[in-house]
Amino acid sequence: MFSTDFRAKNQVTDVRLATRTTMKVGGPAQLVSFDDRGSLGELLDVPHRWLGKGANLLVDDAGVGEAVVVLGPAFDTCELSPARGGVALVKAGAALDLAELIAACIAAGLAGPEGLSGVPASVGGALRMNAGTSTCWMLDWVSRVEVVLPGERAPRWLERAEMPASYRDSGLPHGTLFLGCELSLAEGDPAALRAQGAKLKKAKAASQPLAQPSAGCVFKNPTPELPAGKLIDELGLKGLRVGGAMVSPVHANFIVNPERTATCSDVSALVRTIRDRAWRERGIELRLEVETWNCPAELHAHPRDLAKVEV
């Protein structure tokens, strides 16, 4: 599928996507570790999907036919410029681990990103999903992003104001490639920022099943007043199992894969059951927060259009 020149400048391997997702589910694919901007044209000519840290992704057991592209070391960058007038610019490549960006900002006494402490993501994935918590989002501090928009051939910088971002959504079209971003950050006290980051991580560790494979929160919160986890908990579904997949007894909006034996069909059956119960018993349509690759289309259908489910 790729030329010898492309393969000399970028790494192409066969993988099981279960090894590339935090859920530890997903079949085979050809993986491209993309490093050479000069090869962008050839890459864009081939059917492809973009992958970050795989922290918010459910992949079918049959895998995917398209090339799966991760950004390589050339995009694993972080440059901090000195603050002027109390504000500093930070330039981050999309392959950078979000945790590393947060640590660099805390060490330099730059405030904001510490609010994302404990969110598992690459910078690119966090931009794409507008990853965040209940109080802040990735795009809160971003001044511009470098992207390749679907149908375009070359990277360009977009101002934050050009992105109609919302809860868990960058506002840019599906298939956009994020290459990096620039953050505009105010100065803060490193010790206070570090303490705040540690506090957030501790709260997550106390309320989320972080030791078990999962894709984080499965559903978007229908409203801030009714978080999906609370709703699923009230429906009595904690601990429900299908095969190797289970609704976490710790946080009901997590589906965990404790023995790493879950298949995509196991997870899909749980998703279907949860959506069916939320609709029939509470009249609420739960929408997936996780991205799905090649999974049954019914996971996205309105639950009123699906047959009653028994698990």
* Binding residue count for ligand EPU, defined by CB under 6 A: 17
Distance CA 74, CA 275 (A): 41
Closest distance of CB 290 from ligand EPU, Å: 8
Instruction: Say whether residue 227 binds ligand EPU (CB under 6 A).
Output: yes
- C-alpha dihedral (169, 170, 172, 173), degrees to nearest 10: -30
For ligand EPU, which is the closer residue by CB, 94 or 228?
228
38-to-3, 43, 50, 73 alpha-carbon distances in Å = 13, 10, 18, 15
Interface stretch with ligand EPU, choices 14-22, 24-32, 214-222, 261-269 (CB under 6 A)? 214-222
Distance CA 145, CA 182 (A): 6
Interface stretch with ligand EPU, choices 98-106, 178-186, 216-224, 274-282 (CB under 6 A)? 216-224
Instruction: Say whether residue 97 binds ligand EPU (CB under 6 A).
Output: no
For ligand EPU, which is the closer residue by CB, 49 or 238?
238
Instruction: Say whether residue 252 binds ligand EPU (CB under 6 A).
Output: yes
Instruction: Say whether residue 196 binds ligand EPU (CB under 6 A).
Output: no
Distance CA 34, CA 68 (A): 10
89-to-95, 140, 153, 209 alpha-carbon distances in Å = 18, 14, 27, 35
Rounded to a whole number of angstroms, the distance between the first and last alpha carbons of the chain is 42
Question: 112: which DSSP letter?
Answer: S
Report the amino acid identity of residue 87: V
Instruction: Say whether residue 277 binds ligand EPU (CB under 6 A).
Output: no
| Residue sitting closest to ligand EPU (CB) | 216
Instruction: Say whether residue 216 binds ligand EPU (CB under 6 A).
Output: yes
Q: Binder to ligand EPU among 21, 22, 122, 253 (CB under 6 A)?
A: 253
Of 111, 120, 74, 69, nearest to 93 (Cα)? 74
Closest distance of CB 214 from ligand EPU, Å: 9
Instruction: Say whether residue 257 binds ligand EPU (CB under 6 A).
Output: no
Interface stretch with ligand EPU, choices 25-33, 57-65, 147-155, 245-253 (CB under 6 A)? 245-253
Instruction: Say whether residue 24 binds ligand EPU (CB under 6 A).
Output: no
Closest distance of CB 230 from ligand EPU, Å: 4
Please give the structure tokens belonging to residue 220. 């978007």
Distance CA 88, CA 129 (A): 24
List of residues contacting ligand EPU (CB under 6 A): 133-134, 204, 207, 216-217, 220-221, 227-230, 233, 251-253, 289
